């Protein structure tokens, strides 16, 4: 099933409370922000109160002082009259009820992708997230390292998902899309010679230099700040090995990393694009990846491919 994300569902419930004139109380687990945090800000600007448990408040910001500065009150129990809204990225009860209507039981194994900036109480979240990518590339960049059973402590959103779904395999959404694009035979045919895979996501765009199963370099930027021309410039500089970390960061992206031993000459000419905003690359001559004939499910196919690689499913 292709369903609305939990962030969109929570945002909708907040908007409904705003329309009905109710304060809200966020309770549950840490989850992704995005649309629901934007809805919270509008709720406060409309003159209503937002309360949150300490754990749910981490959906908004890692640092509780920053949360309170936004006008959110961190409490342990629901205030009188506030509408309770549950926060969590995965709700197995709801999924189980939906599947039961079609006589389908919940599976035994789960593979889940979320975008996780990582927890940092001070400094730039963009820098902190990209430091993870830098360590990955410098350590050899093997794509198997992008799949987690044991999650780094700072990936608190992934840990929250695994707490709700014990034993789940976790990936970043960008990593899952890279794995998924390789499920398209036309993309996989260029894997050994080297290629660029770009995931133009709803929030973030990630482009990586992949040869064999090694990522030699990558950049990450906010999709909303990109244009077709800027995307082409980043991809071109990435392929040439000239894209700098400061260039991307100074333009309000996350950064860029290219391994010192990267061999650009004669390789990495093929560019594959996936993601919900892949239309941004139209007219650039890039290949639009269609794993198993479906452009919209690259990340899902990537999760399955990773789970198969680890032997979790056949």
Looking at the predicted structure, is the pLDDT value of residue 296 above 90?
A: no
First to last CA, the chain: 21
Confidence of residue 11 (pLDDT cuts 50, 70, 90): very high
Same domain (yes/no): 262, 125: yes
d(CA 15, CA 104): 32
Helix 35-45 × helix 6-20 angle, to 10°: 10
Domain assignment present for residue 108? The answer is no
pLDDT, mean of residues 58-64: 92
Long-range contacts, 184-188 (Cβ 8 Å, 24+): 184/272, 184/289, 184/290, 184/291, 184/292, 186/272, 186/287, 186/289, 187/270, 187/272, 187/287, 187/289, 187/291
Confidence of residue 297 (pLDDT cuts 50, 70, 90): very high
The parent domain of residue 35 ranges over 6-87
Same domain (yes/no): 137, 63: no
Residue 2's φ and ψ, nearest 5 degrees, are -105, 115
pTM exceeds 0.75 for this model = yes
Same domain (yes/no): 13, 79: yes
pLDDT tens column, 95-126: 999 999 999 999 989 999 999 988 888 878 88
Looking at the predicted structure, is the pLDDT value of residue 2 above 90?
A: no
Query: Which neighbouring-strand residues pair with 27?
Result: 86
Same domain (yes/no): 233, 303: yes
Same domain (yes/no): 229, 153: yes
Same domain (yes/no): 301, 250: yes
Same domain (yes/no): 137, 189: yes
Name the DSSP class of 116: -
Residue 152's φ and ψ, nearest 5 degrees, are -55, 145
Same domain (yes/no): 126, 74: no
pLDDT tens column, 200-215: 998 899 999 999 999 9
Q: Residue 45 sits in a domain of what CATH number?
A: 3.40.50
Closest CA to 147 of 274, 313, 304: 304
Structural domain count of the chain: 2
d(CA 314, CA 63): 42
């Amino acid at each position: 099933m292709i369903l609305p994300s939990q962030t969109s569902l929570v945002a909708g419930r907040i908007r409904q409370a705003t329309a009905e004139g109710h304060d809200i109380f966020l309770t549950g687990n840490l989850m992704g922000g995005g649309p629901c945090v934007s809805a919270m800000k509008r709720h406060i600007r409309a003159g209503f109160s937002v309360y949150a448990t300490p754990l749910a408040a981490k959906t908004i910001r890692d640092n509780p002082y920053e949360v309170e500065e936004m006008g959110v009150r961190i409490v342990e129990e629901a205030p009188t009259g506030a509408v309770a809204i549950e926060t969590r990225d995965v709700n197995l009860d709801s999924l189980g009820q939906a599947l039961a209507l079609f006589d389908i039981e919940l599976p035994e194994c789960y593979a889940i992708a979320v975008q996780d900036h990582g927890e940092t109480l001070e400094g730039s979240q963009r820098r902190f997230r990209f430091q993870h990518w830098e360590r990955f590339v410098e350590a050899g960049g093997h794509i198997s390292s992008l799949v987690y059973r044991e999650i780094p402590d700072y990936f608190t959103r992934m840990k929250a998902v695994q707490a709700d779904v014990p034993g789940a395999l976790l990936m970043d959404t960008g990593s899952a899309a890279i794995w998924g694009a390789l499920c398209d035979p036309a993309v996989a045919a260029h894997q050994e010679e080297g290629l660029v895979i770009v995931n133009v996501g709803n929030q973030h765009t990630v482009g990586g230099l992949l040869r064999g199963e090694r990522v030699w370099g990558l950049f990450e930027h906010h999709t909303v700040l990109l244009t077709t021309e800027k995307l082409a410039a980043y991809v071109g500089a990435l392929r040439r090995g000239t894209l700098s970390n400061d260039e991307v960061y100074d333009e309000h992206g996350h950064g860029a990393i290219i391994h010192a031993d990267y061999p650009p000459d004669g390789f990495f000419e093929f560019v594959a694009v996936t993601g919900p905003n892949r239309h941004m690359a139209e007219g650039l001559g890039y290949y639009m990846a269609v794993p198993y004939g479906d452009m919209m499910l690259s990340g899902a196919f990537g999760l399955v491919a990773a789970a198969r690689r680890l032997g979790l499913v056949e």
